[in-house]
Copies of this chain bind each other. A is one copy, B any other.
Amino acid sequence: MEKTLAKGLTLLETLARLGHPVGVTEAAKAVGLQKSNAHRLLRSLSELGYVRQIADTGRYELTLKLWEMGSRVIARLDIATEATPTMRKLAALTRETVHLSLLEGDDVVYVHKIDSPHPVRAYSAIGGRAPAHCVATGKALLAFQPPDAVDVSKVRKPFTDATITDPLDLRRELERIRKQGHAVNKGEWREGVFGVAAPILDASGRAVAAIGLSGPQDRFRPKAMKAWTPLVMAAARDLSRA
C-alpha cells in the first residue's frame, strides 16, 4: 500500500469532512501526521490544484477540483438529473422528502433528494450514507440485485429495536419486497423515521437505484403509506425504462 497516496487522500477526506479552512498544525493533528509531513502534502496538493492556501491566514482549503471530479462520476450514471422531474412530482403529491439512492457496498448513498416542505423532517444530506439493510431504498435495492450478489447471512448491525438482524428474517423480507415490488422501513435505522421505496430497474431486472419517501412516524401512518405506495412504485417504474 502506497503510504504517501494514502496520507494525501486521507488529508483530502479530512479537509472535506471538516468543511472549513485548516492550518498546517491543525491538519497534521487531525490526520495524525508530523507537521512537516502535513505541510509537504498540502503544498503538493496545492500544486496539483486540489487545495489552495488562503493568502492572509495561511490556512488551506479545498478548491472545487474534487467536486468537479465527483460530478463526472455521477454524470456517468446521470440518473440524478434524469430523475429530477419525477422526484419533484412525487414530492408535490406527498409533501414528504424524496430520496434517490444508489447501492455502494453495504450502504446506500443518497445521490439526490427533494426535501419535504414540512418543518419537521428527517435529516439527510446528498452524498450521505445509510446501511442498506435498514432503510427502505436500501432494502429495495438489495431485493433486486442479481442472485448471490447479496450475502444475506452476513451479520448486520442493529441500530434500533426494529432493525432486522436475523439472516432468515432478512431473506424473508427481501422475498416479500420482490413479490410486492416495494420496501418499507419502520424505524429500523433511526427511531421514529419511516419510509417507503421502490427499485429502479434496468432492462435485465436488476435494480440500479431506488426512489423513496421518508419522514416522521406520525405522518407515515398505515393509511398514508397505503396511499403513497402506488405513487412511489409508479415513479420508480417511470424511471425504470432506459
Q: Which residues of A are at the interface with B, using a C-beta cutoff of 8 A?
A: 1-9, 12-13, 16-17, 19-20, 40-41, 43-45, 47-48, 50, 62-64, 66-76, 81, 102, 104-105, 109, 111, 125-127, 129
| CB neighbours of A47 from chain B (8 A) | 1
Closest to A20 in B: B76
> Are B4 and A72 closer than 8 Å at their CB atoms?
no
Closest to A12 in B: B69
- In the complex, the count of this chain's copies comes to 2
Closest to A125 in B: B75
Which of B2, B41, B69, B105 has a CB less than 8 Å from the CB of A44?
B2
> Are A127 and B68 closer than 8 Å at their CB atoms?
yes
> Are B5 and A109 closer than 8 Å at their CB atoms?
no
A16, A44, A73: residue with the most chain B Cβ atoms closer than 10 Å: A73
Q: Give the distance to chain B from A64, nearest Cβ to Cβ, in Å.
A: 5
Closest to A37 in B: B2
| CB neighbours of A126 from chain B (8 A) | 71, 75, 81
Which of B73, B75, B127 has a CB less than 8 Å from the CB of A75?
B127
In the complex the two chains form, what is the Cα distance from A62 to B77 in whole Å? 12
| CB neighbours of A72 from chain B (8 A) | 16-17, 19, 127
